[in-house]
Amino acid sequence: MNGSDEGAGHAARSKRADARRNEETLLDAAAAVFVTSGVEAPVRDIAAKAGVGMGTIYRHFPTRADLIIAVYRHQVEACAEAGPALLETSATPHAALGQWINLFVDFLVTKHGLAAVLQSDNAGFDTLHAYFLDRLVPVCTQLLDAAASSGEIRSDLDAYELMRGVGNLCIGAEHDSRYDARRLVELLIAGLRRPH
Amino acid sequence: MNGSDEGAGHAARSKRADARRNEETLLDAAAAVFVTSGVEAPVRDIAAKAGVGMGTIYRHFPTRADLIIAVYRHQVEACAEAGPALLETSATPHAALGQWINLFVDFLVTKHGLAAVLQSDNAGFDTLHAYFLDRLVPVCTQLLDAAASSGEIRSDLDAYELMRGVGNLCIGAEHDSRYDARRLVELLIAGLRRPH
DNA sequence: AACAATACGGAACGCGGTTCCGCTTAGCAA
DNA sequence: TTGCTAAGCGGAACCGCGTTCCGTATTGTT
């Protein structure tokens, strides 16, 4: 919808070849650094890892959010697309919801510091926040609606709130062995069940 | 147990009068700044508000955690003490647990940024983390045990995990009107209910 | 009044994000 | 091939913030 291709699909050539190469390099470097040092790693580290100067990184990715989005876009897309698929293949909508949330939690928990940054109120991360929300809330809404109309869950919680709650529960899960975000999220989903 | 009085209760004189005055002033200033700018307000702001230099603030409160603890100690104590009280006055242990968690959530949600800082993995905040945990986890354990042995809830979640989860759910609740931490915490507690 | 001990203020340092500008290089045209 | 220009690059420099350090001021005691 934006970013890598220019839309009209013909004369999409505006970037110089070295620029595109550098963007690639930066994405790889950022991905690597994110794994080892988390998504809040110093910008200089990423630039160093990529072997480029500070200017280059800021030109390609004006905010850290842009970089994070670029690095994880594929996985977020995959998660978003898994929603409808799960709805079809799962026994019940509630099961689909549970599995999809699990997917999301796994994603967040394995990305060092991402959950924290997602909920950060720092301006500059709000485009990141917005991207995740835009992409995933509709999917979650669909699953939630399906589960609600099948009568399995209460319907007084909207997808936005659920997603934020799940995201929050994932914060800090990566370096605290006593804290299992998955379990708490399960509990939360269990709490959604309509009392019967 | 530490801090303001020297324990043995006789020759408790070690601090100079101006030092004690400054400590008071700093606490008041910090409390005020925390309200307006959150618990992550620049140290300089607090020093300025108190009308003291940087050295003074660091001498009295070597880490930000110390300052935060000092400012909120009374309220944390009150919360801790409310636990056993609620257990006696409430209809069921589960109800007591719910009310106590509510108390905790209200406390966190009204302290701008405190929940976030509580879960922060920054070294330097771990004494804050530890203080909250030391003080509140035993209380929560007591409530949880009571509710578990009365058969109201499943017993496979320990107090530590619950407290962390609740704390996490409170992050960012203060400036997002679409997100109601209390509701999600309720859901979590509902999820604790033993299926019957 | 003099003198330690204690405490104070704020300059200075380090780190990390961000900007800015002089230099380099890709891509094109003659 | 050679020149030219604009796109792109590197990294020094700047800013804000946490933290340290030390010369100075204050307290309380003799």
d(CA A46, CA A57): 8
Q: What is the pLDDT of residue A13?
A: 60
Whether B108 contacts B157, CB under 8 Å: no
Rounded mean pLDDT, A161-181:
96
Inter-chain CB proximity B192 and A192 less than 8 Å: no
What's the pLDDT band for A121 if we cut at 50, 70, 90?
confident
Rounded mean pLDDT, A75-90:
97
Q: What is the pLDDT of residue A125?
A: 94
**Among B144, B184, B185, the residue to mutate for chain A (most A Cβ within 10 A):** B184
Q: What is the pLDDT of residue A194?
A: 78
What's the pLDDT band for B71 if we cut at 50, 70, 90?
very high
**pLDDT of A174 strictly over 50:** yes
Query: Domain limits of chain A?
Result: 1-62, 65-196
At A193, give phi and psi (nearest 5°). Answer: -55, 135
Using alpha carbons, select from B116, B150, B165, B152 the residue that is nearest to residue A189.
B165
Rounded mean pLDDT, B85-94:
95
Whether A56 contacts A115, CB under 8 Å: no
Instruction: Report H helices in A38-125.
Output: 43-50, 54-60, 64-89, 93-109, 114-119
CB atoms within 10 A of CB B26: 24
Looking at chain A, which residue has its C-alpha nearest residue B154? A187
Whether A61 contacts A70, CB under 8 Å: yes
User: CATH topology for B65-196?
Assistant: Tetracycline Repressor; domain 2 (1.10.357)
Looking up tokens 């070849």, which residue turns up?
A: A17
Q: What is the pLDDT of residue B14?
A: 82
CB atoms within 10 A of CB A186: 17
Rounded mean pLDDT, B152-179:
95
| CATH superfamily of domain region A1-62 | Homeodomain-like (1.10.10.60)
Strand D: protein residues, Cβ closer than 7 A: A 14-16, 18-19, 22, 51-56, 58-60; B 13, 16-18, 40-44, 54-55, 58, 62-64, 124
Residues of chain B with C-beta less than 8 angstroms from the C-beta of A189:
191
pLDDT tens column, B20-62: 999 999 999 999 999 999 999 999 999 999 999 999 999 999 9
Whether B121 contacts A172, CB under 8 Å: yes
What mean pLDDT, rounded, does chain B reach?
92
pLDDT tens column, B3-19: 334 434 444 568 899 99
Inter-chain CB proximity A161 and B183 less than 8 Å: yes
What's the pLDDT band for A5 if we cut at 50, 70, 90?
very low
Q: How far is the CA of A125 from the C1' of D11 (A)?
A: 26
What mean pLDDT, rounded, does chain A reach?
92
Q: Does the predicted TM-score (pTM) go above 0.75?
A: yes
Percent of chain A with pLDDT over 70: 92
d(CA A32, CA A26): 10
Residues of chain B with C-beta less than 8 angstroms from the C-beta of A187:
157, 165, 188, 191-192
Residues of chain B with C-beta less than 8 angstroms from the C-beta of A121:
172, 175
d(CA A149, CA B56): 61
Enumerate residues 6+ apart whose C-beta is below 8 A from A100. A79, A82, A83, A86, A139, A140, A143
